[in-house]
Chain A
Amino acid sequence: MLRLTSNQCVAITFMLNGREISGPIEPRMLLSDFLRDELGKTGTHVGCEHGVCGACTVRIDGLAVRACLTLAVQADGRRVETVEGLAGADGVLGALQEAFHRHHALQCGYCSAGLLMSLTALFEQVASPSEAEIRDVIGGHLCRCTGYAGILAAALDVTKVYKEKTTI
């Protein structure tokens, strides 16, 4: 049984975007803070810190989850994916990122990383999700710039559904 005192600092290890990483944590450290402050991976944004806004959404073992509602210690031994892992090693954007760019699915960009991780998880689970399924997933994120139209268009474009529709 793992047992840590409140100020005990231990190293955790997990796969981050396909590479094993390790870093020190205390029990109370949130995964979002570990990613940003210990690992310097600032692509994961922190908004509300109580699970409402979705900015910090990452994937753990493939599932989209809130990094601010996950303790870093809970990610120990897991597979974590963040927005930094979406583009290729050569910097070429992924299909969803490309579609976000094409459809102006962001303005300030604060919510984008979380949306990209949620939608990536959806596309992995459902090859060609319906508009309703996409809306359900996007509903877990707050975007105050776009009104969501561009985000929905980008996601639909990736599913190829968009091409068959004249308007959304």
Chain B
Amino acid sequence: MKPRPFAYCRPETAAEAAVLLAEYGDEARILAGGQSLLPMLNFRLVDAAALIDISRIEELSYIRETGDRLEIGAAVTQAQLLAYPDLAKAVPLLAKGLPFVGHVQTRNRGTVCGSLAHADPSSELPLVLATLGGEVVLRSARGERVVGAAEFQLGLLTTAREPDELIVAARFPLQSPGTGSAFTEVARRHGDFAIVSLAAVAAGAALRLGVGGVADHPAVAAFDGLAGADLDAALNAFVWELGGSDDLHASAHYRRDLVRRLGRRVLEEAQACSA
């Protein structure tokens, strides 16, 4: 229950962090809030030759609206984002999903980009990013690139990030007028890992549903113009596509049932918000 030894680097700029990543490659781990990394290090599920602590890098500690996006730097904690005064107006789905992320005590250190980097299939922030079609900004000594959410999270704890790349920011689309959103999840107790989490966005007849906790990554599908029995049938077809398996927390059958029932509920809730 104690981590194995590792070197510790605390760069002062993102450029310094990129140089360190180029040097260590996949031998290093980025430490931001540490709320996913430290448990894995304590359990010795993860080994790292070095931790690169980016939590004090000033240039990565910002929340700003640029164009039609809310951009969040890699040093921003979940609690800081939740306290952003315009959040409920700018990206309501984030304001609705964030309270489900861990507990207040872990949100005080856990970062938004760290959640995306960790890529847990039941995690809320990757689900919100995927449902909204946001993107991740990656930087390395080789340059910078932007990857869409759908291409970023590839599977269980697996992303498109190359070993020498650092997530410097995440961009969430600002909600446009006439759009509504809703978020819900089922967990054994509030703050635990979700058994199933659901995010919905509605704009007129356009309906989009994101589901976490069933497949090995957040799954997003469109249900445009559907209602009633047609919507139920489409949700049923969607949930069978997700796969999903039994585990300690819930059976695949239970998870499918949650998606069918709560999927319809969050979509209707999003529609109600959009009016």
Contact = CB atoms under 8 A, between A and B. Distances in A.
Interface of A: 1-7, 26-28, 30, 33, 49-51, 54, 57, 63-66, 68-71, 73-74, 118, 136-137, 139-140
Contact of A3 (B8, B42, B99, B104): B8
B42 A140 contact: no
B1 interface: yes
A97 B271 CA distance: 47
A51 B108 CA distance: 12
A27 B104 contact: no
Contacts of A7: 5
B51 interface: yes
B39 interface: yes
A73 B9 CA distance: 10
Given A49-B42, A65-B105, 16 more contacts: A1-B11, A3-B8, A3-B9, A27-B7, A28-B3, A28-B41, A49-B1, A51-B35, A51-B102, A68-B38, A69-B35, A70-B109, A71-B8, A71-B38, A136-B104, A136-B190
Interface of B: 1-12, 16, 31, 34-35, 38-39, 41-43, 49-51, 53, 55, 79, 99, 102-106, 108-109, 189-191
A5 B105 contact: no
Contact of B38 (A51, A118, A139): A51
B85 to A, nearest CB: 15
A69 B109 CA distance: 9
B103 A140 contact: yes
